[in-house]
A and B are shown apart, each in its own frame.
Chain A
Amino acid sequence: MGQAERKQRFEEIYRAHYPALLGYVRRRTDSSDDAADVLAEAFTTAWRRLEDVPPDNQARLWLYGVARRVLANHHRDTGRRSALAVKLRAELASCATPAAEQDPSAVRTAFARLSAADRELLSLVGWEGLGAGEIAKVLGRPPGVVRLRLHRARKRLAKELDSAELDLSAYGSRAVSLAKGES
């Protein structure tokens, strides 16, 4: 593939899936700066690995998979800002949506208590509207495994919701994080 041809193919993918990928990233980041960084890195990966990007709607699932990995690494790399997406960063900051975390609803609290893997499964259904077969492509797992894990994740969220209703009456949701080792 020549550079011109490459650029054309990438632009098609970019234009077709930019809103979906930005949505995916924004729903999973706290700040607009983080969203811009992750988006820039995910699309840069797609540009470098263009030969690996599958056609049509499969490209969206592939991009979700890349963004997932970028996010996972990004959470451990806070403070490192990409030099890309300067204008985008400003745009995202100016149209800041109310941060999801400002609303300590019982659902959000229960959801936050699930493992990252459970949250991602449920999000791919509830936020991206994917089915088990599509999720299997994003995660690179067999569909049967995804269906089973999804079933378990739903059960765990239902259980957390039940217990959250009891706990929340006694304590606010802004409490210590034992896992962070704060003493």
Chain B
Amino acid sequence: MTRDVDRLVTEIAGPADEELGMTPGALDLLEEITAVPVPERRRVRSKVLLPLAVGVAVTLGVSLLPGTAAALDVVRDGGYYVITVKDLFADPERYQEQLRALGLNIRLEVKPATPAQEGTMLPIHFGDSADEIRTIEGPGDCLGRGSCAIGLKVPIGYRESVTIVLARKALPGEKYKVLAPINAAGQPLHCVPFVGKTVDEVRALLAARGVNTVTFARPDRTQKPTPGSWYVHDGVMSAAGQALLLVSPTPQRPDVPGPAFTLDPCS
């Protein structure tokens, strides 16, 4: 199996390296990059002096940004910063300022999500540059896809640049940006079988749980009226009291790109 699968992947590779030699454009880029001198001083400061100052400040319990209440709570624990979110509605710039002051190049994006997800941080790229960042496991089962976090443990001196999504409670009427399957823990159809049922049946299940606005994702990508006899294959909460359902005319799930939330959050 191994070789077959690898061979199939090779076949969809795109351009090979040999087709891409040094060209005038490549030499141009080389000149452009090396024309910018690298300041030695900046490296020394960011590597040694700043974390030292921060370390002292954190140890003494001194706020690094006098005058503004900290949006994040930072504690040193061994070789890590333990960062928990204090103010979920703070201006994102304030998170960044605080993290920058710690010498961390971490960008926090605050996105509206369902109430059940409030306070959770989701690294966008698992197994990516966030490899060394550990999450602090909190209660609950975020999205039914693994452990839920309410904070981060970041190695002191962590230099990579990484973006982390922070879920906050959506304002009234605001669309969710962090999608939750409608059957995840804390969501309306948690442990309620709905896959394979008709649109009418699922509408009734949702309405009984306070979800009265339902929109549809159809295989033809159109906004045509969706018959109540169509089948439901998947669904996410799209805003408070609003669900988005993946539907098709047959009981067979349509082939749609994107993640399929196949994990059973009840198990």
Chain A positions within 8 Å of B, measured between CB atoms, are 3, 6-7, 10-11, 14-15, 18-20, 22-23, 26-27, 39-40, 43-44, 47-48, 50, 68-69, 72-73, 76, 84-92, 97, 100, 103, 105, 107-109, 111-113, 115-117, 122-123, 125-127, 139-141, 149, 154-155, 157-158, 161, 164, 166-168, 170-183
Contact = CB atoms under 8 A, between A and B. Distances in A.
Contacts, number: 214
Contacts of A48: 38
B12 A170 contact: no
B244 interface: yes
8 contacts: A23-B17, A69-B162, A88-B23, A122-B9, A173-B255, A178-B217, A179-B258, A179-B259
Contacts of A174: 221
Given A14-B30, A112-B257, A126-B10, 20 more contacts: A18-B26, A19-B17, A19-B20, A40-B33, A69-B162, A85-B29, A87-B25, A88-B23, A107-B8, A109-B255, A111-B9, A125-B9, A154-B6, A170-B255, A175-B219, A175-B220, A177-B256, A181-B175, A182-B217, A183-B238
A113 B2 contact: no
A157 B9 contact: yes
A167 B38 contact: no
Given A69-B161, A158-B1, A125 B6 contact: yes
Contacts of B23: 88, 91
Interface stretch (B83-91, B127-135, B204-212): B127-135
A180 to B, nearest CB: 7
Contacts of A14: 30, 33
A72 B32 contact: no
Interface of B: 1-2, 5-26, 28-30, 32-34, 36-38, 124-129, 131-132, 160-163, 175-176, 179, 215-221, 223, 234, 236, 238, 244, 246, 248, 250, 252-260
A23 B36 CA distance: 25
B220 to A, nearest CB: 8
B96 to A, nearest CB: 15
Contact of A26 (B15, B126, B260): B15
Contact of B32 (A50, A85, A103): A85
B125 to A, nearest CB: 5
Contact of B13 (A69, A127, A141, A183): A127
Nearest to A115: B259
B5 A122 contact: yes
A176 B256 contact: yes
B163 A73 contact: yes
